[in-house]
Structure 1
Amino acid sequence: MDYNDVPIEDCLRGGEGEMLVFALDRVHRQFAWKSGGLTQEQLGTRHPPSGVTIAGTIVHLAKVEEMWTASAAGRAPGPPTTGPEPWTAYDAEWTTAAESPPEELYALWYGTIGRCRREWSELIRDGGLDELVQDDPEYQVSRRRRLVDILEENLLHTGQTSIVREAIDGLVGNDPP
């Protein structure tokens, strides 16, 4: 798998929801490029004092995407936030993901963003971004807020991954070729 496996369609027309999904598609493609094609050792490389690894970031972004998409859809989160994997515990991905084979990490991330991408397209059509969701009994947010949260989290960690990737093998740039 590589960045070409991330669907992206230019948003020449459409509303706010379609533009936000386009922006998320674009950052997904950037992250796929920055994190792709690495060995297990490279994915698990730490650059002290930070403990961040690209492997941990892959799993973290998959978990965040699933949790916040589930929140927007009003459903319970599924994998990778549930199940027997060692990274299902809160924040475990930062320490355990480096032990996982690259193909497992990439399959997890690509599968999660693919499912969530389809779900966001449906959510935008079904009630739109103004629909409110209840995260807990005392906290309500709009779908718009959740989509912006996902975009922001992906942007933050794509920037981190860009720096780590440059240190690993010198790859630089903002967009894949």
Structure 2
Amino acid sequence: MPDQLPDPRTDPPLRADESETLRAFLDYHRETFRMKCAGLDQQQLAQPLAPSTMTLGGMMKHLALVESNWFHEVFLGLPELEPWASVDWEADRDWEWRTAADDSPEELRGIFDEAVEASDRITDEALTGPDGLDALSVRESRREKGRFSLRWILVHMIEEYARHNGHADLIRESIDGRVGE
């Protein structure tokens, strides 16, 4: 039987208000992703599971981009931050996935952790306002008219992590046989 990954996660509370529950589930999924990437070197973070080209390092950089996009750009309406602002997205739609192999584990974790910390600060501040989870994004949806509630963004982020954690399970097991929730 393969080794189990150590589990540093905190289970979401069984009884809490909506805001605490959403944030706890998002944190749980973030920690699940961190657990899947723990202890891996640059080569391992760049290792795909055929036939996909997806890697854990690429996924880490992608999730950092998603955090920055939804909280900083969409919710606050601010311009892209670096390293995203300098990317020619028209020329390379998969830049974050492709370039992650060039980044050290420390660089990838730093980009990821910085994006998560910024998202948490933005969420903290929004939740102290009068609208709480009903606070609306500055930017509107491209698909339908209207702005996103903070609640919608948090649920979407939980979905994003849950989907990618499924990918991360398979990739991690293919790298070293280690499994875990």
The question of whether the paired residues in 2 share the 8 Å contact of 1:132 and 1:142 is answered with yes
Which residue in the other structure is 1:105 paired with? 108
Gaps of 5+ in 1: none
Secondary structure at 2:24 match in 1? helix
Give me the identity figure in percent. Answer: 34
More moved, 142-151 vs 21-30? 142-151
> For the structure 1 residues 102 and 163, does the alpha-carbon distance in structure 2 shift closer, same or farther, using more than 3 Å as the test?
same
- The one of 153, 162, 165 equivalent to 2:172 is 165
Deviations 1:61-119 (A, max 9, x none): 00001100121233333234224799xx6421121111211111111111111121122
Larger radius of gyration: 2
Q: What is the distance in 1 between the residues matched to 2:103 and 2:88? A: 10
Paired position in structure 1 for 2:55:
53
Match of residue 68, structure 1, among 67, 70, 73? 70
Counterparts of 2:40 and 2:94, CA distance in 1 = 22
Asked if the contact 1:27–1:154 (Cα under 8 Å) also holds between the matched residues in 2, the reply is: yes
2:144 is the counterpart of 1:131: no
Matched, 1:117 2:90: no
Partner in structure 1 of residue 3 of structure 2: none
Gapped runs of 5+ residues in structure 2? 1-5
Give a deviation string over 1:15-74, Cα, whole Å, max 9, x none.
212211110111111100101211111111112110101110000000001100121233
Asked if the contact 2:12/2:28 (under 8 Å) is kept, the reply is no
- Alpha-carbon RMSD: 2.7
Normalising by the residue count of structure 2, what TM-score does the alignment of the two structures yield? Answer: 0.81
Q: Which deviates more, 13-22 or 94-103?
A: 13-22
- How far apart in 2 are the matches of 1:83 and 1:158? 28
